[in-house]
A = this chain, B = another copy of it.
Amino acid sequence: MTQRKKQPAQTRQAILDAADADFSLHGYCATGIGGIVIRAELTKGALFHHFPDKRALAVAWVGERLGAGIDRDWIAPLEGAASLDALRDLCRLRCKELRADDATSALVAVAAETAAGDEPLAEALEAVFSAWRGGLAGFFERGKAAGWIYPAINPEAEAVMFVSAFAGFTVSVKTSRNPQARQLFLTAFEGYLETLRAQQG
């Protein structure tokens, strides 16, 4: 603990690591500062030195950790992508690897739980959703310009639809006991993606 005191940036990251585990697993309300402090092996004073309250900690977690997770899982992989197949393959991977406590699931869960009643959290969550949609809209835009996305689609609207569908899927996976649920979603979701493809010839 003495060592950490000397390295405030490292302490801050240790707090965010602990917060990430608890918020991702249990959501916002069910996560307590006390549990985070124990998990991070710090004092409450050390935590409050970095974050004045739970909401401030959650806002930082959303912006830094969920933001980085969505960037890593959804935005960066599409940056150099130049075909609808690349997006389809990414969706298959994300669908297969989806866990109830990964960045995509946690983003949706904490937004569903808090965003209607908590303006600072809603703003932080919206920034991450907005970046996710922006990555997709940019991908569709590039595909329209390069001729591999159907020219009449509205990239912004399709990005809203895409993110809504995948966000809702993260919730279905939590309740469903059907082992086919992921495959059923993918069947229809890939069918939807195909309708965005530029017609050949």
Q: Residues on A close to B: CB < 8 A?
A: 25-27, 29-30, 100-101, 105, 108-109, 111-113, 115-117, 122-123, 125-126, 129, 153-154, 156-158, 160-161, 163-172, 174-177, 181, 184-185, 187-189, 191-192, 195
Contacts and interface: CB of A to CB of B under 8 A. Distances in A.
Contacts of A125: 175
Contacts of A167: 164, 167-168, 171-172
A112 B114 CA distance: 11
B164 A112 contact: no
What is the copy number of this chain in the assembly? Answer: 2
Contacts of A185: 157, 160-161, 164
B165 A184 contact: no
Given A25-B116, A122-B175, 11 more contacts: A29-B29, A108-B168, A115-B174, A123-B177, A129-B172, A157-B184, A164-B169, A167-B167, A168-B168, A168-B169, A192-B195
Nearest to A133: B172
Contact of A111 (B101, B111, B175): B175
Complex A-B, nearest 5 residue pairs according to Cβ-Cβ distance, in ascending order: A168-B168, A167-B168, A161-B188, A164-B168, A29-B29
